[in-house]
Amino acid sequence: MVDLKKILQQYEIDRVNSLDTLDNGSIYTAKNLATGQEFALKVMETHTDWDRGQIQENYQKAMSYVHPNLIAYKAVYRAIEEDWALNYIFMDKGSGVSLASVDRSQLSLEQKSKIAEDIIQGLDHLHAYGLVYQRLEPKHILLDQVAESYQVRLINYYNQRVEDTNTANFQVMSYECLAPEQLEEGADLGVYTDIWSLGIVLYYLFTGQYPFGKLTMRYSNEQIEQRILGGVLPSLVEDIPPPFQVMVKKCLRVSPMDRWEDCEEILHFYQNYKEQATQSQSQPITQVSHQSQPLRSQEEKESYPTRRYLRKPSKPVRWWHIVLAFSLAGGLGYYISTLAS
């Protein structure tokens, strides 16, 4: 049996300056006294009637889900104190902040696009193992700045499979990020539940707001629930740049069957969009001059649509135009003089 007390003595745990500012829960900095390396230490305290060892087992399995966009778990230990189970999860300590607390005004469109793609990549990796994250929201997305970009890492995930998720997890999920099916008691959850949450996250990333409101004095949980079930997106969604606007709209469809099938489908859509955008940018741009205009055949000229707002060429002035103009002017002058007399 592992001597947890002996293991913890190898670390200096800062329980005063906790990492709760990341909104991750009971997480502290643990410094290895021998190597000086710092880790994030998450402490979970649950009753033994609820936790019979499955938390430790799930986190130990999650240690194998290695991916650049997932926080890395290093070790998991469990101890029993009377009727309570204490789980100690050691993980990499990020140097950044969560998406919920980052200054979005400092993020460029290119940075936001990369963050969005990384989130989808990390979520897709979890789904490849048959897992449902069920915790995807801005406060569970860590952003570590690397040069001019950000390294995205999803946190607070573990080995929770589709068959184990049949109720809404209100303890770890904010109400404004819940999918419609999570509001139904005993409803089946799946990958499509995470797809909905992905839509919430992308909407927040590009607008700084939650599409169906956030729990404040203005919105209650009941009002947010009504808006979620209504599925009507605010007009602000139109300000989201393509192709993420398309992603968000399809992610946030009330019926799970109407959403994206999985993250792989979303990534395929995004890759096609980027390839088409690259091809459009690589096409040569012609200068507006006779020398640079490509020559067209007669057939192409006839089929080429004329823009209505282009100035039409002037017709030549004939001699009889001048005679007619003087005649009309003389007649008009005579008519006016008769009226005056």
Strand order in the sheet with 97-98: 97-98, 141-146, 149-154
Q: How confident is the model at residue 306 (pLDDT cuts 50, 70, 90)?
A: very low
Q: Where are the beta strands (DSSP E) in the chain?
A: 11-14, 27-32, 38-47, 73-81, 84-92, 97-98, 141-146, 149-154
**For residue 171, what are the CA distances in angstroms to 134, 156, 161, 216?**
11, 12, 18, 18
In DSSP terms, 28 is beta-bridged to 41
pLDDT tens digits, one per residue of 233-251: 998 999 999 999 999 999 9
Mean pLDDT of the chain: 80
Q: How confident is the model at residue 159 (pLDDT cuts 50, 70, 90)?
A: low
pLDDT at site 146: 84
Q: CA torsion, points 142, 147, 148, 153, in degrees to nearest 10?
A: -20
Q: Specify the amino acid at residue 179.
A: A
pLDDT at site 164: 52
Buried residues in 93-108 as b, exposed as e (16+ CB within 10 A): bbebbbbeebeeeebe
List the one residue out of 173, 184, 87, 93 whose CA is nearest residue 132. Answer: 173
Q: What sign for the dihedral angle of Cα 324, 326, 332, 337?
A: negative
Percentage of the chain beyond pLDDT 90 is 40
Q: How confident is the model at residue 55 (pLDDT cuts 50, 70, 90)?
A: confident
Taken in order of first residue, the domains within the chain and their CATH numbers are 4-92 (3.30.200.20), 98-278 (1.10.510.10)
User: Running DSSP on this structure, what letter comes out for residue 131?
Assistant: B
pLDDT tens digits, one per residue of 245-276: 999 999 999 999 999 999 999 999 999 999 99
Please state, in angstroms and rounded to a whole number, the distance separating the CA atoms of residues 141 and 153: 6
Matching residue, tokens 């959850």: 189
Please state, in angstroms and rounded to a whole number, the distance separating the CA atoms of residues 64 and 67: 9
CB 29 within 8 A of CB 41: yes
CB 210 within 8 A of CB 252: no
End-to-end CA distance of the chain: 127
Length, in residues, of the chain: 341
Task: Give the mean model confidence (pLDDT) for residues 201-208.
Answer: 96
Task: Give the mean model confidence (pLDDT) for residues 132-151.
Answer: 89
pLDDT at site 2: 65
Task: Give the mean model confidence (pLDDT) for residues 41-64.
Answer: 87
Please indicate whether residue 334 or residue 296 has the higher confidence score (pLDDT): 334
Identify the burial level of 171 via C-beta atoms within 10 angstroms of its C-beta, where 0-12 means exposed, 13-18 middle and 19 or more buried: exposed
Q: How far is CA 53 from the centre of its chain?
A: 34
Cβ neighbors of 33 (< 8 A, separation 6 or more) are: 10, 11, 12
pLDDT at site 52: 84
- Largest pairwise CA distance in the chain: 127
pLDDT at site 14: 86
Task: Give the mean model confidence (pLDDT) for residues 278-294.
Answer: 54
CB 133 within 8 A of CB 170: no
Please state, in angstroms and rounded to a whole number, the distance separating the CA atoms of residues 149 and 167: 37
Task: Give the mean model confidence (pLDDT) for residues 72-96.
Answer: 88
Q: Specify the amino acid at residue 71.
A: I
